[in-house]
Amino acid sequence: MRFVGIDLAWSGKNPSGVAVIDAQGVVQKASSALWTNDEICQFAGLDSPEGAIITIDAPLAVTNSIGQRPVEKELNTTFGQYEAAPHSANLSNPNFKEAGRIQEFVKQLIGRGFTQTVVASKQTTQRVFLEVFPAPALVVLFPCHLHTGHCHCRPPRYKYKSGRRWPEVHSEWEIYRARLRSLECREPALRFAPEVHEQISVDITEFEGVK
């Protein structure tokens, strides 16, 4: 049984990220440079008959022609104040249509024997995939501790965009990586294989991505 997290790019023009966690809670491998659906499946070992729960950060079910999906409205109401609300997904974006990259990936998973669900069963071997939106988890998992208790924080602003300079982005990435490493002290613990631990510890201060 394995757990696979996929940050699926809406378009094949951008790379996707994948992390694979084994049944003991160890992140065995991770990559942020997978370009095609086949590369994602190969990296995550999805052709194996082994059970797997696949969580996908991408809109998998989009039927609204414009505006937001109901779930996006609910997330905006609850987490918008923490800067953790999703972008709107609707059929005006061709990436969400039947021939778009996301639906093609869904078809590939179904062809490999996976079933789409909204909730994964606990303590059960299964082959399922479901949509997730991680930003709220960054709010709930990592609260700010104050002398009066704790309050929720915004997710780290680790994405480069207009109005953010690279030193700020680097600093936010350091916060994000430190929070990830802190999960090794939780119960149950999320641990990292040596290769992955090295990946999230590399010096990024000289890195500048695509602007």
pLDDT score of 208 more than 90: no
- Per-residue burial over 176-193, b if 16 or more Cβ lie within 10 Å, else e, is bbeebeebeeeeeeebbb
Across 126-154, average pLDDT: 84
For the chain, what are the domain ranges? Answer: 2-134
Q: How many angstroms from the chain centroid is the CA of residue 201?
A: 19
**Beta carbons within 10 angstroms of residue 167's beta carbon:** 9
Q: Give whole-number Cα distances, 144 to 33, 139, 140, 147, in Å.
A: 32, 9, 10, 10
Which of 9, 59, 1 is CA-nearest to residue 32?
9
Query: Tell me, what's the pLDDT at 15?
Result: 95
Average pLDDT over residues 170-187: 91
Q: What is the CA radius of gyration of the chain?
A: 18
Determine the Cα–Cα distance for residues 166 and 87; give it in Å rounded to an integer: 23
Q: At which residue do the structure tokens 């924080």 appear?
A: 153
> For residue range 67-107, what is the model confidence (pLDDT) as tens digits?
999 999 999 999 999 889 999 999 999 999 999 999 999 99
Per the confidence metrics, is the pTM higher than 0.75?
yes
